[in-house]
Chain A
Amino acid sequence: MKFDSKNSMYWCVFLVATIGVLFSVQIVQSIGVTRPVPYDIELMKGESAGFTFEIQAVTSTEMLLCTYSISGLDALEINFEEDYASVDAGSIKNVYGTITAPVGAEIKTYSGHLSVSCGPVVEGTGSGSVVKTTVGGSPFNIKVVEVREKGIREISPPPGPGIDYTTILIAVLIIIIVIIVLYYNFKVKKGK
């Protein structure tokens, strides 16, 4: 093809029409949410019970930041141990909460649904594209009763790392030995 002014015009139009526009959408790969345990709780007015559920990011390659809520239980008080959870890629996070039946709560069965939304933890600038995956609809029923027929199951977060008294004892001993050695050296030098 001869490169004349006509062809030049043709190529120009073609390039304008086909100029590359790249589209990239970042997606949270996969999350899973288990139903709260226990999922059927009986409470008398004023009582509280713990519950837990898992956020699973086993197949995710990104660290996720997740928020959660329970709809349908507005008349009850729900507190989570943490307002949000960061879930490491490839891991499972246990979330703990407490539900309380206020003294003024109506005697009835409350049907709630747990919903968890997760997105990648964006660090720095430049990306600007955050996509959320929401897993919702997990049933969670609370029965407020006059007289409880079922016991309240003990659900609480595992205790954190406690005080290691052995380590403290060893550290104290080392400090004492160091002081004695320094004191001895000081006395020896003073004696000379």
Chain B
Amino acid sequence: MRTKTPVVVLCLVVLAVLIVASPSVDYLTGFVTKTGQLLIGNSAPEVNYIYLNSQMTTDNPAAVTINPIENSTRAVYLKVTITDLNGNCDAFTGDNGTAYLCNGTGPCNANTADHTITLNYNATDGQWGSGNRYCNMSGPAEDLQFFDINGTWRVNVTITDGINDSSPLVKNWSYGELAAFSYAPTGTVFMGTLNLAQWNNGTGQEETKNTGNIILDLDWNATNFTGQLYGQGINKTGDNYIIDDDASSPDDTGNLAEVLINESDDVQVSFVPASGLLRCSSVACGNENATFDVYWHIYIPGGLKEDTYQNSIEVESSYH
């Protein structure tokens, strides 16, 4: 009996210690409480939709067409909608995305891009829903040139939250065809003061330039000249009025052989490089056959009064 008492006391002490040392075990109420722990990792953002000039892009390039502007640039505004499950997409303000615009249907990435746009959270359009999980992102306007190639283009957008990148979203769109050219940018071809009873060569120099993104052929015709004061006329005969790309006649020093304007007002003559009037390859448009000069050689007969003579010229372009 004496030996049992210390054993019982010892057991009680051990039990007491266990109770004190294990606060999560409530032996008295029968409940068990444990501390749960889990980790939420960073969730990569997701690109949902891509809009170009407010038009939603799809896999079909015909769904969105953006047209060039002759001899100028067309601003393209890109907006994307994204999902960020971490709920902080409103903080994507430091180069948090990139969009590549690529001509053609091949790979579209940093190496092949014709234009690159940096994207950030669009504070104006903001976010929607709760918890900053759905946001609009956009970048500055990107200028597409009038000579950029027409046809199917691709847009590839990737968003980053600073830790993980989204999967790229690639869609198609179309850059429109623009047939355009300029002739005599000053508005007037002034052939100068010409001499009677002789050929006047190399007059009225003006530049012809392709101001679109289509290779063009050019056909020319013209009417007779009429004096503005006395009404005297200078009629075309089929061999007295010539278009050329250099000032010399009949010797040709330019690329194109001179061409006689037809006697009939309705008959056009082709005057354009064999390649057609090519697209410019830069804003300066220094590439061959994207521009060429036009000169006029004209024989003025004798017997005309001093006057200002005018006529009409029609230049017609067509796809090369």
Contact = CB atoms under 8 A, between A and B. Distances in A.
B177 A34 contact: yes
A109 interface: no
Contact of B70 (A16, A25, A30): A30
Interface in A45-90: 54, 56, 58-59, 61-62
A157 interface: no
B141 to A, nearest CB: 17
A98 interface: no
Contacts of A126: 228
Given A17-B197, A32-B69, A131 B177 contact: no
A54 B66 CA distance: 11
B237 interface: no
A21 interface: yes
Nearest to B191: A23
B303 to A, nearest CB: 10
A136 B316 contact: yes
Contacts of A18: 195-196
A87 to B, nearest CB: 12
B310 A23 contact: yes
A32 B211 contact: yes
A32 B304 CA distance: 39
**Chain B, interface SS category:** strand
A28 to B, nearest CB: 8
B259 interface: no
Interface residues of A, number: 43
B190 A24 contact: yes
Interface residues of B, number: 58
A121 B260 CA distance: 29
Interface string A5-44: 0000000000011111111111101111111011010000
A59 B211 CA distance: 10
Interface stretch (B1-9, B45-53, B124-132, B180-188): B180-188
A23 B204 contact: yes
B195 A132 contact: no
B102 to A, nearest CB: 21
Given A40-B62, A54-B67, A137 B319 contact: yes
Contacts of B316: 133-136
Nearest to B310: A129
Given A26-B188, A32-B212, A21 B306 contact: yes
Contacts of A134: 314-317
Interface string B281-319: 000000000000000001010101011111111111111
Interface of A: 16-27, 29-35, 37-38, 40, 54, 56, 58-59, 61-62, 92, 126-139
- Nearest 9 Cβ contacts at the A-B interface: A32-B180, A32-B70, A30-B182, A23-B191, A137-B318, A129-B310, A137-B319, A35-B177, A134-B316
